[in-house]
Chain A
Amino acid sequence: MNNLLAIILKDTFTLAQLNSRVRVLKSTLLNEFFGGSQTQLTAGEMSWLSSLPPDAKSKFNKDNVYKIFEEIEKAIKLLPTLTIYLTFEPDEPTIFKIGSFARKLYQPNILLDTKIDMGLIAGCSLVWKGRKKDYSLKSRLDEKKGEVLENFKKFLR
């Protein structure tokens, strides 16, 4: 069911967002097929659901819904993920900006996994395939620690 995943990925850039969207779609479909109480959806989730093309949902039926989602969840685990450590929680437009930039630069279906690390002070650090590159202010300061301390000492009496 990579088709559906490709459709979702078009405007989904982070792993958290992808997981939550797949969950929303799954619970809506399960509710439609089998009934039960539906959790209250936020306005954002509602609008995203309605933005899906009508044929995206038409392939589901009572018999295949679990199987298809199992396949999607498996496929998500295999997606290339770029972990980004930031000092702030990025809003939707920022994620869109970073995400589309990364997709243009690296791979078309790359996912971002944003994490917050206040210790970085400013800037970010990136993890790609187990390698972490630190582009934060903290790493720069650590690099020039001696120099910075020397300069501070000038002001000490």
Chain B
Amino acid sequence: MDQTQEVGYVTSSRDFLVYLDGFPTIKINDMVQSDEGIRGWVNSLEEDKIEVLMLDEGKIVPKQQFIRLSSRLGVSVGDFLLGRAINPLGVPIDGKGLLSKTKTNPELGLEQAALGIESREFITEQFLTGITLIDSLIPLGKGQRELILGDAHSGKTGFLIDTIINQKNTGIICIYASIGKPAVVVRNLIDTLKNNKALIFTVIVATSSSEPAPLIFLTPKTAFTIAEYFQKKGKDVLLILDDLGTHAKIYREIALLGNKSPGRESYPGDIFYQHAHLLERAGNFLPQYGGGSITALPVIELNLNDFTTLIPTNVMSMTDGHLLFKASLRSQGQTPAIDISLSVSRVGRQTQDPVSNLLSAKIRQVLSAAADLETISRFSSELPPETQLTLRRRDLIMELLKQDPLTQVPKPIQLILLALVFTTFLQTKNQAFVEKYKATIIQAFLRDPRLMPIAKSTAKFQSDEELIKILEGAGPFLAKLCP
């Protein structure tokens, strides 16, 4: 047995930040442990001292001895993680007992550099959320990074949970990183996913707000490491980071405690690097690099709907678009409360089929024309018939795009609903009619043998006009269904 071991001694400490002397060959991201079993990881190395961030809480005294652990900062990954909730170090927190891992499960380092452009593939497949508004107007691609912005209570988390639940039977693996949220939020999330049978394909990585800052800081890194494991096995992964605003604040706390010079809003200079370094790990990969994809949805909670502050603008610039949720829209009864005019998807359009693409362009046209006519809309009865039609169509579209939480609208039905707006059947109807008969129409296209063929053949149409024409034929039948 080798009797030589590296040790280090505490020279100073400040809250969870400890400076050590010793360890001649230590490297960044190595783990150290005190004689009382308190662990920490090496964050930076200086000429005469080692900066360690403590992962466990406990008493640190000057001259205390630390030993170097054989394991580096990492997490054991495998299919056993599905359906479980763990902390960033891979310790189960859901009260379901030990993880059923074996010795063959690899332990992956948390800090991985993102794969280069040689490993990436053009995003061609659409990521379906089951939510009409997104899948038609702001479509997402598999491997895209889409920022979710919004006030508190604007329905962000509800949207994310719906998106996870709607991935049932698609083979997509969902990973939810809950960063520094109250423990009860994590419990509710686990229960909701379990009740909707969505937990079996989901991994939850969570830290509660009471845990040490360095542990919270690691949450998204662990989530990405697990996502990469599934991606390398050829799986499509949905990764949700809820939320990066808290992550930035935690990193600011660590940096300020470590005497790093504060920059704008007191965030350290490398906060952009930290987030870009993380989000670059998402993408669509070539078969020789595993072949799967990681679709990342980072979340940022806004203050008073102001998205011009440092962190939202930073993350906006490193993602491929954003969805803006507004509490005011939600209180007006619009769910999901997404502001269509301020939301973008820079990648999703290329993944849509031609019919959806043409149809969504048409819908956008109506919405923007109606926005221009907004000021004169109050004189509705005296307006020319075309203008009245545009305004009525806008109301119909907005009503059709409303979707209750925990519901899914299949892709063909989404198309049919939006195409119906341009048929004579809906032309004369108002918003109240759609509100009353929306569910009936959806059920008819899903179950009625006379309408089902249309729903089944939407993918075969070459253009939106073709679909509208077919639906025109179904008008009289629908009129009978909705008296």
Contacts and interface: CB of A to CB of B under 8 A. Distances in A.
A62 interface: no
Contacts of B22: 127, 129-130
B1 A139 contact: yes
Query: Which of A132, A133, A134, A143 gathers the greatest number of chain B CB atoms within 10 Å?
Result: A132
B6 A132 contact: yes
Contact of B24 (A83, A130, A134, A135): A130
Interface string A127-157: 1011111110001001100000000000000
Query: Which of B3, B4, B8 gathers the greatest number of chain A CB atoms within 10 Å?
Result: B3
Contact-residue bracket for chain B: 10 to 19
B3 to A, nearest CB: 4
B7 A127 contact: yes
A131 B3 contact: no
Contacts of A142: 1
A129 B6 CA distance: 9
B5 interface: yes
Given A130-B23, A130-B24, A143 B4 contact: no
A130 B23 CA distance: 5
Nearest to A145: B1
A139 B7 contact: no
A131 B4 contact: yes
Nearest to A77: B11
Interface residues of A, number: 12
A133 B23 contact: no
Contacts, number: 32
A135 B3 contact: yes
B1 A143 contact: yes
Interface in B1-54: 1, 3-9, 21-24
A131 B24 contact: yes
Contacts of B9: 83
A129 B24 contact: yes
Contacts of B8: 130
A73 B179 CA distance: 44
A49 to B, nearest CB: 27
B38 to A, nearest CB: 18
Interface string A72-88: 00000000000100000
A148 to B, nearest CB: 13
A130 B3 contact: no
A129 B48 CA distance: 12
Contacts of A127: 7, 22
Nearest to B1: A143
Nearest to A134: B3
A129 B25 CA distance: 11
A139 B5 CA distance: 12
Given A129-B24, A130-B24, A139 B3 contact: yes
Contacts of A131: 4-7, 24
B7 A133 contact: no
B7 A130 contact: yes
Interface string A34-47: 00000000000000
A134 B9 CA distance: 17
Nearest to A136: B3
A103 B7 CA distance: 23
Contacts of B4: 131-134
A127 B5 CA distance: 9
Interface string B164-191: 0000000000000000000000000000
A132 B1 contact: no
A125 B433 CA distance: 86
Contacts of A134: 3-5
Contacts of B6: 130-132
A139 B1 CA distance: 9
Nearest to A130: B22
A132 to B, nearest CB: 5
A133 B21 CA distance: 17
A135 B23 CA distance: 19
Contacts of A83: 9
A77 to B, nearest CB: 9
A54 B4 CA distance: 46
A132 B24 contact: no
A124 B361 CA distance: 80
A133 B3 contact: yes
A133 B3 CA distance: 6
B19 to A, nearest CB: 13
Nearest to A129: B24
A32 B144 CA distance: 75
Contacts of A135: 3
Contacts of B7: 127, 130-132
B209 to A, nearest CB: 36
Contacts of A139: 1, 3
A130 B67 CA distance: 10
B9 to A, nearest CB: 8
Contacts of B24: 129-131
Query: Which of A83, A130, A134 gathers the greatest number of chain B CB atoms within 10 Å?
Result: A130
A67 to B, nearest CB: 23
10 contacts: A127-B22, A130-B7, A130-B24, A131-B5, A131-B6, A131-B24, A132-B6, A133-B4, A134-B5, A143-B1
Given A129-B24, A135-B3, 9 more contacts: A83-B9, A127-B7, A130-B23, A131-B4, A131-B6, A132-B5, A134-B5, A139-B1, A143-B1
Nearest 7 CB-CB pairs, A to B? A130-B22, A134-B3, A130-B24, A132-B7, A132-B5, A143-B1, A130-B23
Interface of B: 1, 3-9, 21-24
